[in-house]
Chains A and B, each alone.
Chain A
Amino acid sequence: MSDAAPEGRVLEVEALSARYGHVEALRPVDLFVRDGELVAVLGPNGAGKSTLMRALMGLVATQGIVRFRGSAVPRRNPVGAAAMGLVLVPEGRGIFGPMTVAENLELGAYLLKRDKTEFARRHERVLSLFPRLKERLGQVAGSLSGGEQQMLAVGRALMSEPKLLLLDEPSLGLAPRVVEEILEKLGMLNREGLPIILVEQKAPLALKLARRAYVMSVGRIAAEIDPRTITSHDDLARYYLG
């Protein structure tokens, strides 16, 4: 069933919560993403950012409602969420180390099955976005540098032609120059119209790209901010500290 989404919202989340055993990792959270918007989710370690991403994908048991383009995203069914176009680049990249770069990319288009023309189009697009992957197609993914692995993780996600890209800490453990390169590509994708949720601990980096940002603290959304209003570290600290 499809309902009209207000203000061009593609993703609407209502009272989404998640638990790990007795621990309430995500308290009821409300948020939304508009079409073509890049929304940052900020917050310190343990704030619940990664759990939020996993909850959106249905990788953890949740309560609450997630709607994507007006349709309910099935809960505890990541395959169903992926089929709707939600694609997660998980924290730690989640690349498949023993497989080659080419095989990792092929797995990105897993739901495409046998459409070779469409596969070739996506493949070409990813390699033009990350030319370094082209040189490494036959290389085992586990032997790539951290930056290349992150490029592969994003490239693999793009192979599934996402309608909403969820990125969990893409800068983790990477050199600043590499982070800039990856974020620049993400900005480019977003300008082409791809809605993105970017989870980042390095707030200044995310705020450069984001149109809006949510600040999370102890499993809930503590604030929704307009990055243009953040002019100094003190401004940001105010939101972090409540």
Chain B
Amino acid sequence: MISRATIWADVRRNPALTALWALAAALVAYVFVTGGYLIAVLHFAAIYVVFVTGLNIFMGYAGQVSFGHNAFAAISGYTSAVLTATYGWEPLAAAAVGLCGALACALIVGYPTLRLRGHYLAMATLAIGLIVYEIAVQWQSMTQGYMGISGIPPLGIGRFTVTSDRALLVWLIGFAALSLLAAAGIRRSRLGRAFVAIAGSEDAARALGIDVARYKLVAFLISAFYAALAGSLFVHAVGFVSPEVYGLHMVVLAFTMLYVGGIGTIGGAALGALVVALLPETMRRFSEYQDLAYGAVLILILIYAPGGLAALSRLRPASRRKESA
């Protein structure tokens, strides 16, 4: 159980990380109060927290590689969009169908591909992402191709709909927080320990009786569920979907968030999503050099915090170990 004393001990032990979390919370509070365009950026960041948290379970905990989780976001997102905008379904029911569809696809795809390792697995998942993207483009009668689908209703259940930007932000932060809590629970469970064991050494894990193939598939399905949830949230938050939303750009962005935040850490997804989403906004003053400045800051973060921002706390024990050696 986390007591006030242990929280305070953590704060004293990791001042840099605590300051970072405090800054993130203050920023969110500031944007919430002042409103404006930055609220939309935070919507985007909160959805990506869900997506990246799932990817972290598969890549950070279980040590696998996937370039194709955008496919599951696309399947669920498009299902939500089509069923609500075209057929008038309730968002919740449409999302449930989307999630089931994405999970079924993940099961069919994951079973054979997870026998592959390293680069081969990465390439196979990349292909899945590209195939789903191509389907979204070509299946015009259903997806409207590049034109996309608009008029998607906002989040809601029955008569209750989330209409204001602030309310949407609260809901999306709620989803992001639940995702992080669930990921923390998974990491601390027997399941999570098995994932981390597989990442450490598949043979050593097998020798302890851990069914590696089964757990890899479970990690893949859990992370696909997160991706699908993020995909559905996105279409209801924005009200529009097109193939570009779930293109390769989504994968690149999620990887950046994962590594900047701290792969394998629990809170890294939140920090990474927030920093990567907000950073371009703070770089606008550099006008045409904006992308250059953005890239430079990301490189600096990865040089000075190679384990990601959420792993800043590891610096201190390492230095203490050196002292005690």
Q: Are A96 and B200 in contact (CB under 8 A)?
A: yes
A sample of 30 cross-chain residue pairs with beta-carbon separation below 8 angstroms, ordered by A number, consists of A54-B203, A57-B207, A59-B203, A59-B206, A59-B207, A82-B206, A83-B209, A88-B207, A94-B207, A96-B196, A96-B197, A97-B200, A99-B196, A99-B197, A103-B196, A106-B190, A106-B193, A107-B193, A107-B205, A107-B208, A108-B208, A110-B190, A110-B194, A110-B210, A111-B208, A113-B190, A143-B318, A143-B321, A156-B208, A160-B209
Q: Give the residues in chain A near B174, CB-CB below 8 Å.
A: none
The reply on B272 being an interface residue by CB < 8 A is no
In the complex, how many residues of chain A place their beta carbon closer than 8 angstroms to a beta carbon of chain B?
Answer: 27
Q: Give the residues in chain A near B210, CB-CB below 8 Å.
A: 79, 107, 110
Q: Measuring CB to CB, which residues of chain B are less than 8 angstroms from any residue of chain A? A: 190, 193-194, 196-197, 199-201, 203-211, 264, 317-318, 321
Complex Cα distance, B208 from A95, in Å, reads 11
Q: Are A90 and B204 in contact (CB under 8 A)?
A: yes
Q: Return the chain A residue nearest B208 by Cβ.
A: A110
Query: Among A94, A98, A140, which residue has its beta carbon within 8 angstroms of that of B204?
Result: A94
Q: Give the residues in chain B near A87, CB-CB below 8 Å.
A: 207-208
Q: Give the residues in chain A near B197, CB-CB below 8 Å.
A: 96, 99, 107
Q: Are A99 and B207 in contact (CB under 8 A)?
A: no
Q: Give the residues in chain A near B205, CB-CB below 8 Å.
A: 107
The reply on A227 being an interface residue by CB < 8 A is no
B203, B208, B321: most-surrounded residue (chain A CB, <10 A): B208
Shortest beta-carbon distance from B197 to chain A in Å: 5
Q: Give the residues in chain B near A170, CB-CB below 8 Å.
A: none
Q: Give the residues in chain B near A106, CB-CB below 8 Å.
A: 190, 193
Known: A107-B194, A110-B194, A143-B321. A96 touches B201 (CB 8 A): yes
Q: Give the residues in chain B near A97, CB-CB below 8 Å.
A: 200
- A36-79 CB contacts (< 8 Å) to partner B: 54, 57, 59, 78-79
Q: Are A78 and B206 in contact (CB under 8 A)?
A: yes
Q: Are B203 and A90 in contact (CB under 8 A)?
A: yes
> What 10 pairs across the A-B complex have the smallest Cβ distances?
A94-B204, A82-B209, A96-B200, A78-B206, A111-B209, A88-B207, A94-B201, A110-B208, A110-B209, A79-B209
Complex Cα distance, B190 from A94, in Å, reads 18
Complex Cα distance, B194 from A103, in Å, reads 10
Q: Are A96 and B194 in contact (CB under 8 A)?
A: no
Q: Return the chain A residue nearest B60 by Cβ.
A: A98
Complex Cα distance, B317 from A59, in Å, reads 36
Q: Are A79 and B211 in contact (CB under 8 A)?
A: yes
Shortest beta-carbon distance from B190 to chain A in Å: 8
Complex Cα distance, B317 from A160, in Å, reads 31
- A120-147 CB contacts (< 8 Å) to partner B: 140, 143
Q: Give the residues in chain B near A78, CB-CB below 8 Å.
A: 203, 206-207, 209
Complex Cα distance, B25 from A171, in Å, reads 50
Q: Return the chain B residue nearest A106 by Cβ.
A: B193
Q: Give the residues in chain A near B199, CB-CB below 8 Å.
A: 98
Q: Give the residues in chain A near B317, CB-CB below 8 Å.
A: 140, 143
Q: Are B193 and A160 in contact (CB under 8 A)?
A: no
Q: Give the residues in chain A near B264, CB-CB below 8 Å.
A: 98
Complex Cα distance, B190 from A111, in Å, reads 11
Q: Return the chain B residue nearest A141 by Cβ.
A: B200
Q: Are A98 and B200 in contact (CB under 8 A)?
A: yes
Q: Give the residues in chain B near A98, CB-CB below 8 Å.
A: 196, 199-200, 264
Q: Are A82 and B321 in contact (CB under 8 A)?
A: no
Query: Among B196, B201, B206, B318, which residue has its beta carbon within 8 angstroms of that of A79?
Result: B206
A82, A96, A156: most-surrounded residue (chain B CB, <10 A): A96
- Interface digits, A196-239 against B, CB 8 Å rule (1 contact, 0 not)? 00000000000000000000000000000000000000000000
Q: Give the residues in chain A near B196, CB-CB below 8 Å.
A: 96, 98-99, 103
B197, B203, B204, B210: most-surrounded residue (chain A CB, <10 A): B204
Q: Give the residues in chain A near B200, CB-CB below 8 Å.
A: 94-99
Q: Are A82 and B201 in contact (CB under 8 A)?
A: no
Complex Cα distance, B207 from A54, in Å, reads 9
Q: Return the chain A residue nearest B202 by Cβ.
A: A59
Q: Return the chain A residue nearest B188 by Cβ.
A: A103
Q: Give the residues in chain B near A54, CB-CB below 8 Å.
A: 203
- A147-169 CB contacts (< 8 Å) to partner B: 156, 160
Complex Cα distance, B197 from A82, in Å, reads 16
Q: Are A96 and B203 in contact (CB under 8 A)?
A: no
Q: Give the residues in chain B near A82, CB-CB below 8 Å.
A: 206-209
B190, B201, B205, B209: most-surrounded residue (chain A CB, <10 A): B209
Q: Return the chain B residue nearest A87 by Cβ.
A: B207
Shortest beta-carbon distance from A199 to chain B in Å: 14
Shortest beta-carbon distance from A12 to chain B in Å: 20
Shortest beta-carbon distance from B157 to chain A in Å: 37
Complex Cα distance, B207 from A88, in Å, reads 6
Shortest beta-carbon distance from A211 to chain B in Å: 25
> 14 other contacts beyond A79-B206, A96-B197, with CB at 8 A cut-off?
A54-B203, A59-B206, A78-B209, A87-B207, A90-B203, A94-B200, A94-B201, A95-B200, A95-B204, A98-B264, A99-B200, A103-B193, A108-B208, A160-B208
Complex Cα distance, B193 from A156, in Å, reads 14
Q: Return the chain B residue nearest A94 by Cβ.
A: B204
Q: Are B209 and A94 in contact (CB under 8 A)?
A: no
